[in-house]
Chains A and B, each alone.
Chain A
């Protein structure tokens, strides 16, 4: 009965590899997000999708490409991984793109690039 689930939880990979993190929400929400949390615990938004449409795209390298096959899924694909990509990536969702809506976070995916 997990609300926002993301896989894998842990991922260790070599520089230059391509990897994907999957996210699914069963809350019926219209909006989904990807956040990155660095080693200093600072959360930063990367992307936001509303009904499969990209609405927020912060300054993120082109190596990061989100894919939303339907409004319940938002996957993150990363090409040519670099050491600096090591972080915790959180998927999240909210009912609609409304100012006061609660955002529900997944449990995070720990990515380590070696």
Chain B
């Protein structure tokens, strides 16, 4: 069964600290993995997209890693800011040739950054 599991479910850290969010998936065949940030009351915004051949991708203070062998990904946030408080959603796309395969969503990790 194709699934995407994220951990922890929620996380509280102090401003300026680093943190790492985890994503494990069983989606097969694999096409790509995306991390989205969803602020409260807003729509998800794309942070990174990684294909099978990419094992790390950065977007400012956000760095995503991918291990396609173990089917794990992590999102590392450096020097957290209050504005990082949001839900972070891992999304895995199944492969369907060149067209968009089905997307499988994790339930998200709710990150709260305290001053």
Interface residues on B, range: 20 to 34
A98, B98: Cα distance in complex, Å:
6
Q: Are B43 and A90 in contact (CB under 8 A)?
A: yes
Query: Given the interface contacts A41-B87, A41-B108, A42-B105, does A101 sit within 8 Å of B45 by beta carbon?
Result: no
Render B30-46 as a binary contact track against A, CB cut-off 8 A, 1 for contact. Answer: 01101000100111111
Nearest A residue to B42, CB-CB: A107
Instruction: Select which of A101, A104, A107 is within 8 A of B100 by beta carbon.
Output: A101
For the A-B complex, the count of residue pairs with Cβ-Cβ distances under 8 Å equals 59
Q: Are A41 and B107 in contact (CB under 8 A)?
A: yes
Q: Are A99 and B95 in contact (CB under 8 A)?
A: yes
Q: Are B43 and A99 in contact (CB under 8 A)?
A: no
Q: Are A98 and B99 in contact (CB under 8 A)?
A: yes
Q: Are B107 and A40 in contact (CB under 8 A)?
A: yes
B38 — which chain A residues lie within 8 A by C-beta? 41
A107, B45: Cα distance in complex, Å:
10
A24, B67: Cα distance in complex, Å:
37
Q: Are B89 and A43 in contact (CB under 8 A)?
A: yes
A90 — which chain B residues lie within 8 A by C-beta? 43-44
Instruction: Select which of B46, B101, B105 is within 8 A of A99 by beta carbon.
Output: B101
Instruction: Select which of B41, B99, B105 is within 8 A of A43 by beta carbon.
Output: B105
Nearest B residue to A44, CB-CB: B105
A97, B103: Cα distance in complex, Å:
12
Name the residue among A99, A100, A103 with the largest chain B CB count within 10 angstroms.
Answer: A99
Nearest B residue to A58, CB-CB: B102
Q: Are B96 and A99 in contact (CB under 8 A)?
A: yes
**Besides A42-B107, A105-B43, 5 other A-B contacts (C-beta < 8 A):** A94-B100, A98-B100, A99-B98, A104-B46, A108-B43
Which 6 A/B pairs are nearest by Cβ-Cβ distance? A105-B43, A43-B105, A97-B100, A102-B46, A97-B99, A105-B44
